[in-house]
Amino acid sequence: MKELILVKIGGNTIDDPPALARFLDDFARIAGPKILLHGGGKKATALAAQLGVPVHIVQGRRITDAATLDIAVMVYAGLINKNIVAGLQARSCPAVGLCGADAGCITAVKRPVKDVDFGFVGDIVLEKIDKDFFHSLLAQGITPVIAPLTHDGGGQLLNTNADTMASAVAVAMAALYDVRLIYCFEKRGVLRDVNDALSVIPELSAQEYEALKAQGAVSAGMIPKLDNAFSAIRQGVTQVAIGDARYLPAIVAGDTGGATRCV
Nearest to 225 by CA among 172, 253, 185: 185
3-state secondary structure of 11: helix
Nearest to 5 by CA among 260, 221, 225, 183: 183
Of the pair 64, 81, the CB lying nearest a second copy is at 81
| Rounded distance between C-alpha atoms, residue 173 and residue 237, angstroms | 8
Residue from 26, 40, 63, 102 in contact with a second copy (CB under 8 A): 102
Residue from 51, 58, 194, 197 in contact with a second copy (CB under 8 A): 51
Of the pair 134, 185, the CB lying nearest a second copy is at 134
**Minimum CB separation from a second copy for residue 137, in Å?**
8
Residue from 19, 103, 212, 250 in contact with a second copy (CB under 8 A): 103
Binding span for a second copy by CB under 8 A among 33-41, 87-95, 229-237, 238-246: 87-95
Tell whether residue 232 is a contact of a second copy (CB under 8 A): no
Residue from 60, 112, 154, 216 in contact with a second copy (CB under 8 A): 154
| Rounded distance between C-alpha atoms, residue 146 and residue 166, angstroms | 9
Strand partners, 196: none
Residue from 5, 9, 106, 157 in contact with a second copy (CB under 8 A): 157
Of the pair 97, 189, the CB lying nearest a second copy is at 97
H-state helical runs in the chain:
11-14, 17-29, 43-50, 66-72, 81-90, 131-139, 162-173, 206-214, 222-234, 248-253
Cβ-contact 86, 22 below 8 angstroms: no
Tell whether residue 104 is a contact of a second copy (CB under 8 A): yes
Binding span for a second copy by CB under 8 A among 82-90, 175-183, 201-209, 240-248: 82-90
Cβ count near 139 (within 10 Å): 11
| Rounded distance between C-alpha atoms, residue 32 and residue 23, angstroms | 17
Residues 122-151 interacting with a second copy (rule: CB under 8 A): 136, 140, 142, 149, 151
**Minimum CB separation from a second copy for residue 226, in Å?**
31
Tell whether residue 41 is a contact of a second copy (CB under 8 A): no
Of the pair 14, 95, the CB lying nearest a second copy is at 95
Residue from 30, 79, 217, 263 in contact with a second copy (CB under 8 A): 79
| Rounded distance between C-alpha atoms, residue 126 and residue 141, angstroms | 25
Cβ-contact 263, 204 below 8 angstroms: yes
Over 162-193, what HEC string results? HHHHHHHHHHHHCCCCEEEEEEEECCCCCECC
Of the pair 3, 25, the CB lying nearest a second copy is at 25
Contact residues: a second copy, CB under 8 A: 50-51, 70, 73-79, 81-83, 85-87, 89-90, 94-99, 101-104, 136, 140, 142, 149, 151, 153-157
